[in-house]
Amino acid sequence: MTAVRVTLPPGATSDDPQLGDDAVRHLQALLRIDTTNPPGNETEAAEYVAALLSDAGLSPTLLGPTPSRQSVVTRLAGTGERPPLLLHGHLDVVTADAAAWKHPPFGGEIHDGYLWGRGAIDMKHMVVMSALVMARLRREGRRLARDLIFAAVADEEAGCDHGSKFLVDQHPDLVRAEYALGENGGFTIHLGGRAIYPVQIAEKGVVWMKLKARGTPGHGSLPRDDNATVRLAEAVARLGRTRLPQHLTASTARYLEALAATQGFPKSLLLGQLKRPSLSGWVLKMIPDRGIAMALAAGLSNTAVPTVLRAGDKTNVIPGEAEAEVDGRSLPGQSAADLVAEVRAVVGPDIEIQVIRDLPPVETEGPSPLWDAIVATLGARHPGAIAIPILMPGYTDAKHWSRLGARCYGFCPNRFPPDAPRFADMFHGHDERIHVEGLRWGVNVLHDLVLRFAA
Ligand SMILES: [Zn+2]
């Protein structure tokens, strides 16, 4: 990483209690608007955010393919000296089983220092923080070197069609930016006494596949060698138990090096050995925390996970064909065809493979002024903390912003104390919540970061 200055530019604020209070109040209100996707129904949330922006003198626009699936976009014009920065978040949330939660998922209640609700960290917090930063800069009458674009979008959790994909396809001029800041990262991980902040710099591609086995149909009383159900089951079992070949990407190499630097011997040595295909399988088995081992493994290979099975509908009839759906995820640098070839090598020549969805991977290579600004802001706001670049196995709205050329980073500043529940457990899990003081910290960090980068 290049050396960076750690002083704030002239005019940048330090802790602003008002910004923190506003973040808590508006996030409570937004969490009370149920935007469970499906069906989404994000329009009420989009209108709420638009009102917040309008009150500050901005001119937000609601856009979407249907009246119930609106996103909100606005722009704070800069001097035009540098290209725009896009701040983005999604308004929809995944389902929540209220019976399994300690406090209501759409109540916006504060208990034990946490604000509870579906969307608290995924990711209405970033929507609120970004909107408040836009509003604050507008009120202060700032002219930044870059236009700031804000987009709070529908439908990220179900594939982005009604949100970022719609905006990029239908209104590219409104959301085209050189840099984009959104999911996923910016939360504290306490590891071996160090505070680490992951920053997404890459995400895997989506290669969903349908596998089909064919055979001769017949009566269930007469066993056959070419039973489609059995052929498919064998292929699916092989695929489910096979780790696909390792490909070390630039982002995973950066991640492993940065992580190793935070760990003492022998962990640092073991992490380094993950780069070697001949040893990585053994090292992954040695890692006691299976969640961490799974995440590391997903960063080293393409993956193909069987999820859906379809075969036959009568006990006494051998079907002529059987189908499975497979959730494939490709590393940066790997195409759908590359992943299909790896799956082909496992399932054999007799299984038909059809790609049913193909969204390419995203990777923001190398250091950049935004990365440097993130590192510098963190250094000033959480002394001793470290930013670590990560590859996300899932997808985010970056899939679509990057189609317009944006260099995408995931950093939604959100400070967790060491005794907080694990971010990964709350992400799409029960009892999602955000630390109230961490939210106050986060909105101030985002404000500083935007000024540092765009002033
Ligand atoms: Zn999300």
Separation of 171 CA from ligand 1 center, angstroms? 22
Cis, peptide link before residue 17, omega less than 30° from 0? no
Q: How far is CA 156 from CA 309, 369, 455, in A?
A: 26, 27, 30
Separation of 435 CA from ligand 1 center, angstroms? 18
- The answer to whether the beta carbons of residues 90 and 16 sit under 8 Å apart is no
pLDDT > 60? residue 224: yes
**Which residues are within 5 Å of ligand 1 (an ion), measured at CB?**
122-123
pLDDT at residue 8 in the model: 47
Give dist(CA 196, CA 190) in Å, integer. 6
pLDDT > 90? residue 76: yes
Separation of 420 CA from ligand 1 center, angstroms? 20
Separation of 414 CA from ligand 1 center, angstroms? 14
Mean pLDDT along residues 349-357: 97
What is the tens place of the pLDDT at every residue in 241-298? 999 999 999 889 988 988 888 888 888 898 999 999 999 999 999 888 888 899 899 9
Give dist(CA 362, CA 359) in Å, integer. 9
pLDDT class of 16 with cuts at 50, 70, 90:
confident
Mean pLDDT along residues 383-406: 94
Q: What is the mean pLDDT of the chain?
A: 93
In the DSSP assignment, the letter for residue 421 is P
Among 188, 213, 183, smallest CA distance to 410 is for 183
Mean pLDDT along residues 366-377: 93
CA atoms within 13 A of residue 165's CA, in its CB half-sphere: 14
Dihedral sign (CA 170, 410, 408, 145): positive
Separation of 77 CA from ligand 1 center, angstroms? 27
Please spell the DSSP secondary structure of 85-146, one letter per residue. Answer: EEEEEE--B----GGG-SS-TTS--EETTEEE-TTTTTTHHHHHHHHHHHHHHHHTT---SE
Please spell the DSSP secondary structure of 214-275, one letter per residue. Answer: E---EETTS--TT-HHHHHHHHHHHHHHPPPPB---HHHHHHHHHHHHHS-TTHHHHHHHTT
Domains, the chain? 17-200+362-454 (3.40.630.10), 203-359 (3.30.70.360)
Mean pLDDT along residues 297-313: 96
pLDDT class of 14 with cuts at 50, 70, 90:
low
What predicted TM-score, i.e. pTM, was given to this entire model?
Answer: 0.90
Separation of 354 CA from ligand 1 center, angstroms? 28
pLDDT at residue 192 in the model: 77
pLDDT at residue 177 in the model: 98
pLDDT at residue 17 in the model: 87
Residues in CB range of 425: below 8 A, 6 or more apart: none
pLDDT > 70? residue 13: no
pLDDT class of 221 with cuts at 50, 70, 90:
very high
pLDDT > 60? residue 1: no
Phi, psi of 95 (to 5 degrees): -65, 155
pLDDT at residue 7 in the model: 45
Give dist(CA 228, CA 312) in Å, integer. 9
Largest CA distance in the chain: 83
pLDDT at residue 263 in the model: 83
What is the tens place of the pLDDT at every residue in 129-184? 999 999 999 999 988 999 999 999 999 999 899 999 999 999 999 999 999 999 99
